[in-house]
DNA sequence: AATGAATTGTACCAATTGGTACAAATCCGG
DNA sequence: CCGGATTTGTACCAATTGGTACAATTCATT
């Protein structure tokens, strides 16, 4: 096993137990990765692990979501695809957003830059795509915020109610809201 | 100091450090409450403290938000007032929602009932008020979900961007969305 | 097969954890 | 001012924490 392979495993452990809660013994129990390997790949410890996981997540969203939004010749298709990708990634709200979870935890300060960048890139890419689709710049920004906050909130509600219908309804409502009325 | 007085203090510590992160020594450092008092008021330990804090929060929302929504003779006023109360309570997104934070942490299972109840009551009270104002039942439910998820997401975004403009804009957008168009 | 590098398991460390026990202090009604 | 009950500080406990050291293993390359 090499460094890159550990990131998805570590990510799931951090999702389930949080940064503090993911003790080395829990990480080992859940992933099979031992202390030796962990400190070989991440010499400065847990903080480096979580930072690498966040960076890995950021790269995934960049590739699968932000880049298509920015570069697709058909922005309306990229936006629609974004909702589908997000629904799959978060498993209809059953899988939490690690960035959002860290934002509400005491680890926020530690990873402040990564958390801020993730959402900043998402807002900017989506607002730009909405502009290209024909929304006025102000409306595009506002809509982008509505979508990003709506998704994060939907994950929370789905979690507390243990019912992914809340996530799915939110996604469809936001998807519809981003479709511009053809006049 | 008596039990009731400790709840707001404990609440703030749990907000800042999370359930696991709020160690007894941190609680003592932040609140001045010592082990002796804590285990006198909460004999079964941290879990009882957090449960009491959640119940205290639930009572506050019941009194200040849910009850007015359900009982006010002018539901549109109660809805409008809800946004103002919520903005003050969450300090425009600078203060997190402990229920939402617990929902994304590994303590979710422990307090599952309290977390579920809090949001269930909020959704139901708001949807009922929206019905009374004239929205169709389906539309009222959907709007209530939009408001509750929007608020939770707005707290996350405000936290990561360290800018309460995201919370304030969300509140105003949601407030406007709940005003029915007079025909 | 030999070699050097990358990977991994294990024993160990000081510090901190949640929790207990209990004596001292404080409070309040008579 | 007295006396019982409530409240609090402190010393202590076993268990767990993140991290280190290092020898043993595994791996690719020749």
Contact flag A20-B16 (C-beta cutoff 8 Å): no
Rounded CA gap, A39 and A124, in Å? 36
Number of other CB atoms surrounding residue B114 within 10 Å: 18
Report chain A residues whose CB lies below 8 A from the CB of B108.
159-160
Contact with chain B for residue A114, Cβ under 8 A: no
pLDDT of residue B85: 98
H or E element at residue B65? none
Contacts of A64 (CB under 8 A, 6+ apart): A85, A89
CA dihedral B98, B104, B110, B115 (to 10 degrees): 50
Give the residue-averaged pLDDT of A36-42.
98
Nearest CB among A20, A96, A166 relative to B104 is that of: A96
Residue B62 · residue B119 · CB < 8 Å = no
pLDDT surpassing 70 at residue B183 = no
Q: Tens digit of pLDDT for each residue in B140-177?
A: 999 999 999 999 999 999 999 999 999 999 999 999 99
**Nearest protein residue to the C1' atom of C24, measured from CA:** B36
- Going from N- to C-terminal start, the domains of chain A cover 54-177
Q: Tens digit of pLDDT for each residue in B69-90?
A: 999 999 999 999 999 999 999 9
The CATH architecture to which A54-177 belongs is Orthogonal Bundle (1.10)
Say which residue the tokens 């799931």 belong to.
A12
CA atoms within 13 A on the CB side of A95: 11
Q: Tens digit of pLDDT for each residue in B34-80?
A: 999 999 999 999 999 999 999 999 999 999 999 999 999 999 999 99
Q: Tell which strand C nucleotides have any atom below 7 Å from a protein Cβ.
A: 6-11, 16-23
Number of other CB atoms surrounding residue A109 within 10 Å: 7
Question: Per CATH, is B3-177 categorized as 1.10.357.10?
Answer: yes
Distances in whole angstroms, Cα of residue B142 to Cα of each of A173, B9, B64, B156: 9, 35, 23, 21
């Amino acid at each position: 096993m090499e460094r890159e392979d550990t990131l998805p495993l570590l990510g799931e452990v951090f999702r389930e137990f949080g940064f503090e809660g993911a003790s080395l013994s829990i990480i080992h129990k859940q992933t099979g990765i031992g202390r030796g390997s962990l400190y070989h790949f991440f010499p400065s410890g847990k903080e480096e692990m979580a930072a690498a996981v966040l960076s890995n997540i950021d790269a995934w969203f960049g590739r699968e979501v932000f880049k298509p939004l920015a570069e697709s010749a058909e922005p309306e298709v990229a936006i629609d695809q974004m909702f589908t990708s997000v629904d799959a990634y978060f498993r209809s709200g059953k899988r939490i957003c690690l960035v959002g979870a860290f934002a509400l935890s005491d680890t926020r300060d530690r990873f402040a830059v990564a958390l801020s960048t993730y959402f900043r890139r998402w807002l900017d890419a989506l607002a730009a795509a909405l502009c290209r689709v024909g929304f006025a710049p102000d409306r595009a920004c506002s809509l982008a915020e509505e979508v990003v906050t709506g998704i994060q909130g939907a994950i929370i509600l789905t979690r507390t109610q243990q019912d992914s219908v809340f996530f799915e309804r939110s996604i469809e409502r936001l998807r519809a809201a981003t479709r511009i009325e053809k006049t």
